[in-house]
Structure 1
Amino acid sequence: MSAVEEESPPREGLLTGGNVADAVVRVGTTVRKPVTAATPGVEAVLDHLHQRGFEGAPRTLGRDDKGRQVLEFVPGTTAMELPAFTPDELRRLGRLIRALHDAMEDFSPPVDAQWDMPIPDPTDGRLICHNDLAPWNLVVDGARWVFIDWDGAGPASRSWDLAYAAQSFVPLQAGGLVAEAAPRLRALVDGYGLDDGERREFPGLIAAHTRGMFDLLVRGARTGEQPWARLHAEGHANHWGPAAEYIESHQAAWLDALL
């Protein structure tokens, strides 16, 4: 390799697959993202998780000379590209989310933190959560599982955050067999360790969170707010609407499985 090559800056490669953030690129072993009003709060969250020894989130590495947020690039495969998780893997996922929430218990947000949560938590939770725990945001690399894309972090409750993961990882979607989905839901919740009272409320929260996603897309189509208007045009509401109806219509089955 020549001296010129050694001194050349690393090439930028556009990262695809995300639905919300613009112009996300990989530069060597880092990811660079545009800074938003929510970025300082997200950086504080990731710093806190690193200090607590939680390895299920990427490290934040400051800003680059273009003013972009710099994050650790996590190699591996997203769970969306893998076969559906087994019950044992769902229990492991539940334990990972529990460890994340436990690590955030003593986090004090910056006084001027701003959050960009597309669906507010109706339970008025105050724990700073990820709020998009889904297969497209979980990178699996051998023994390490890492949740990426923290742009939607903000105050919520443990159960509200877990409810989104339940819908997307079990998964709970239109056309699914309840007899197969119910024990898978139980595996995730057992891994997390919800108590009896939380289990009784949980099916309703899954339904509310899923319905909230559908309503967000419909509202975006009506108002033109992006990226929700674009996602609605791409047909995403055709997944979330029927999924909400499926979850709502089988509340008794989910409750029976959890108890």
Structure 2
Amino acid sequence: MSVMRAFAKRTLAGLLLSSLWAMPARAAEPACDAPAEALEAAPMAGVFAALAHTDLRILVVGSASTQGGGTSGPAATWPLRLQAVLAEKVRPVAVQLEVFGARGTTAADHARILAEQGPRVRPHLIIWQLGTVEAARGLPVEEMAEAVQGAVERLRAIRGERTDVVLMDPQFSRFLRGNADVESYRDWLRVAAAASGAQLFSRWAIMRHWVETDRIDLERAPRARRVAVADELHDCLAHALAEFILDGAQRGRRHRR
């Protein structure tokens, strides 16, 4: 790379990062307003470093909501909406996102996927949606936590701080709350995140806020509007998650000073 090209690359990265850091702390769409504390992230060194270059690689693993979750199609799911939202916010950095998982998959299944795909993708960010299947089946919470900690430890041994990990807890559901001890799984996810150096994005808390403020309530949506409401829910989750990620990147910049 010539000296001029290297200089131009550094200048472009600097301008991009400066524009990101100048963004207001709350950048989500007003219609998708979420509690401020749910959108505050710890420093994300991997994302910060990626935004200083030309691409941001994201690996998503999870169960049903990553694949469709009642939406109108794959493009409406929160992972692909997240890719689109981030691509708009961090351009000219390219956002590459790959999704793995399926309905009914558990943390142990996801850990195997991460072991197989992590070395190939070399992600700057992993978003791991889990806990719903475990809670619905009443699987041992300790096994879920062990799967998380083991997977993150193996990843850290290979990637160090070049990969940030965000755990996403279950979506808020009155039915799940009434038929499973979901709080135990949420508690253990918090413990697993803290113990492994990962972060927790509380989808449960954000969705509960939308339900309690009569913003989005998928369970009580009329049948004729259920798909449209699911699309709206996934879009709002994508905006909230994008804000969480960019907050972490901004804090990652400060952390490295």
TM more than 0.5 = no
Does 1 or 2 have the higher relative contact order (CA < 8 Å, sep 6+)? Answer: 2
Larger Rg: 1
What's the TM-score once normalised by structure 1's chain length?
A: 0.29
What's the TM-score once normalised by structure 2's chain length?
A: 0.29
